[in-house]
A = this chain, B = another copy of it.
Amino acid sequence: MDPSSHPLIASLRTHGPISGEEERVLLASIGPPRYVPIREDIVSEGDSPKESTVLLEGIAARYKHDERGNRRIIALHIPGDFVDLHSFLLPEIDHGIIAMTGCKVAGVPHRSINFLIDNHRGLARLFWLSTLVDASVHRAWLARFGAEAYGRTAGLICEMYLRLKSIGQAEGKSIRLPLTQNDVGDILKLSTVHVNRTIQALRHDGLVAWRGGVITIIDFEKLTAAAGFEARYLYMIEPTNVPDEVAR
């Protein structure tokens, strides 16, 4: 991965190759950056946006509200992710997207996406592929609910560590993931109190340190074992992005 390139390009490259020409036309389609404050919607439930949004900086989440008004977080997004590429074909978005931290985003008009996929087969495939990987992550999250709190939490940490690492946002064995324990509960379907106790257990067992939004992996081996974690579902093509002790 070339850290000098645009986050979207870098992210797409973790899944497949992009030619120089494709990179050029794609970059030309990205609108000006926009800043979204923490806890504000990037896209709201039920919107019919005319552009898709790329996350440039920060952490965003897709969410739905259930009948009781509780928030369920469906997916987490990191810089380079096309957070609502699917809105290009799905007329009305079935969930909201919220900034979990202050976020820098940019739009790509659906008109431009149309042009890109009609004229650049490689991009068309990469866009489709990118939404397929999204779906694969959804499936992994669904499977994760098979485990109890300890394993679910461990799995989430494994995933976010590898994903952030793949875009060059891990520093050694640490990642910055500024989520409150309440946020984590909305992701894992756990109460805040139980998230707290689960993280304490992970700390006590020497798997991770997690303080002030920084997660440090202490024992990746034990962490993946606790989670039953298999990185395959992330469909990353560059094993060099993955630390040696993790590569399978």
Which residues in A have some Cβ–Cβ distance to B below 8 Å? 62, 64, 66-68, 70, 72, 74-75, 86, 89-92, 94-95, 117-118, 121, 124-125, 128-129, 131-136, 138-143, 145-147, 151, 189, 225, 227-228, 232-233, 235
Contact = CB atoms under 8 A, between A and B. Distances in A.
A126 to B, nearest CB: 9
Chain B CB count within 10 A is highest, among A68, A90, A117, A139, for A139
Contacts of A95: 139, 143
A227 to B, nearest CB: 8
Contact of A90 (B64, B132, B138, B140): B132
Given A132-B86, A132-B89, A66 B232 contact: no
Given A147-B66, A228-B67, A235 B72 contact: no
Contacts of A67: 147, 151, 225, 227-228
24 contacts: A66-B146, A66-B147, A66-B228, A67-B225, A67-B227, A68-B228, A72-B143, A74-B142, A89-B128, A89-B132, A90-B129, A90-B235, A92-B232, A94-B136, A94-B232, A95-B143, A117-B124, A128-B128, A131-B131, A134-B135, A135-B135, A142-B142, A145-B145, A145-B189
